[in-house]
Homo-oligomer: A and B are copies of this chain.
Amino acid sequence: MDAPNLHRRLRKIIGQVQAIDRMVDEDIPCEDVLSQISAAKTALHRCGQIALEGHIRHCVRDGIEHGDAEKTIESFTKAVERFSNMGR
């Protein structure tokens, strides 16, 4: 996994959710709160994509070294399924 990239993104997401938490007490239009929630959701989804891509890359490099296609495919299939089922 691309750790520095994920850390940077996750810390930004924490800031976004803290900002949403403050918006709840202020007189902010509902649609603006929803826009911020949407942005945080999309940012989390992108973290999932980065984690998945890093994992598949790792599996492929490892697989080409060892030459076992079936074992390589097996090593990332569960992560692809988990990513595909990520929350709405």
Chain B residues closer than 8 Å to A25, beta-carbon distance: 3
Report whether over half of chain A's contact residues are helix, strand or loop; otherwise say mixed.
helix
Residues in chain A within 8 A of chain B (CB atoms)? 1, 3, 6-7, 10-11, 13-14, 17-18, 20-21, 24-25, 29-31, 33-35, 37-49, 51-57, 60-61, 63-64, 67-69, 72-73, 76-88
Can you tell how many copies of this chain the complex includes?
4
Pair B79/A34 contact, Cβ less than 8 Å? yes
Contact, CB under 8 Å: A69 / B64: yes
A50 to B: closest C-beta gap in Å? 10
The residue of chain B having its C-beta at the shortest distance from the C-beta of A40 within the complex is: B44
A17 to B8, CA, bound (A): 12
